[in-house]
Amino acid sequence: MGLLLPGQFMIEGLIFGKGTPYVLTGDSGGFDIQPYGVAAGDYQVPRQDENRFGQDQLTPGPINIQLGLLQNRWLRTPPAGATLVQADLGRLQKIWRGDDVRYKWGEMQQLAYGSIDGTDKLIYGRCGKFQYSKINPKTESHTVTAEFRRADILSYSAVQYVRDFVPNAAPLTVTNGTGGDAPSWVTIFLQGPLKTWTLTFGDVVIPSNWDIPEGKILEINSYPWTRRAVDSDGINRRANLIGATPYLDRLKFKDTDSPKVSLTATGTNGNSKGVVAYRDAFQVIK
């Protein structure tokens, strides 16, 4: 069971939407998902009335959120112990300014929402433009339009699934946790000592020319917002992944797949191990 009800959203601890003084408004239900763009790789065949299709990339569109911030007032003396709930416009704008995020390269914010299946899901991106009105004396509310710039066109389970595996053992089969319908990114942690090691994930084979010492950890991360290969000392190890290793954006698995992950190495002991972490991914927000 998720923390949020269907129709509720949360960003940096602030819950808005159904049952809160931050009411979604507007013709689209207050949560307007803009279409993604297509950077088409089309080209016209010379001297022909034909097109050829190359590689296309999808450009995520923003989400425009329309809110009415209720400024409730007591009409008479309140009952003992009663608390009046009011929307805090200043807190909302502080979150949308994102001062702890917008100065950091690659930093993201999580916009959580209560899905109709009873679970919480996450949208990754950054807060964008923020517009508000002075209080309307008739409705006792502020009107807010807030933009959320998406990192990609998917949403993800709030629950992250984590599986352990050991070197020189039978492969571990990885499956989605609760039934996503889009490809899942993965993060793999390898803990030393591991010498002359090779990691296999599905049909992706990743050998390395760097031996992981005792007590050190290598993170191989394919998530778009944290894509990297870095050790526990903060040193970039991407160049140490050798051979025909594909770009890290190929390290993912389809919702219909159950890839196997395995690790071969020498010089191991009881501390040597691997961890694979992933989230279910979903095509739409609902």
The conformational region for residue 7 under phi > 0 = left, psi -120 to 50 = alpha, else beta, is left
Residue 55 and residue 46 in contact, taking contact as beta carbons nearer than 8 Å: no
CA–CA distance, 18 with 34 (Å, rounded to integer): 22
CA–CA distance, 124 with 179 (Å, rounded to integer): 20
Residues contacting 160, CB < 8 A, separation 6+: 277, 278, 279
CA–CA distance, 160 with 122 (Å, rounded to integer): 11
**DSSP labels, 188-234:** EEEES-BEEEEEEETTEEEEBS-PBPTT-EEEEE--TTS-EEEETTS
The predicted pLDDT at position 82 comes to 67
Residues contacting 259, CB < 8 A, separation 6+: 173, 174, 201, 202, 203, 253
Looking up tokens 């870095």 gives: 230
- One digit per residue, pLDDT tens: the chain, 286 residues? 578 999 999 999 999 999 999 999 987 789 999 999 998 888 888 888 888 898 888 999 999 999 999 987 656 666 776 677 789 999 999 999 999 999 988 889 999 999 999 999 999 999 999 999 998 888 889 999 999 999 999 999 999 999 999 999 999 998 765 578 999 999 999 999 999 999 999 989 999 999 999 999 999 999 888 889 999 999 999 999 987 777 888 889 988 888 999 999 999 999 999 999 999 999 999 9
- pTM, two decimal places: 0.88
The predicted pLDDT at position 215 comes to 93
C-alpha torsion sign, points 231, 235, 236, 238: negative
Torsion of CA 113, 20, 140, 132, to 10 degrees: -20
Residues contacting 215, CB < 8 A, separation 6+: 192, 271
C-alpha torsion sign, points 70, 71, 75, 80: positive
The predicted pLDDT at position 1 comes to 55
CA angle 257, 221, 125 (to 5 degrees): 95
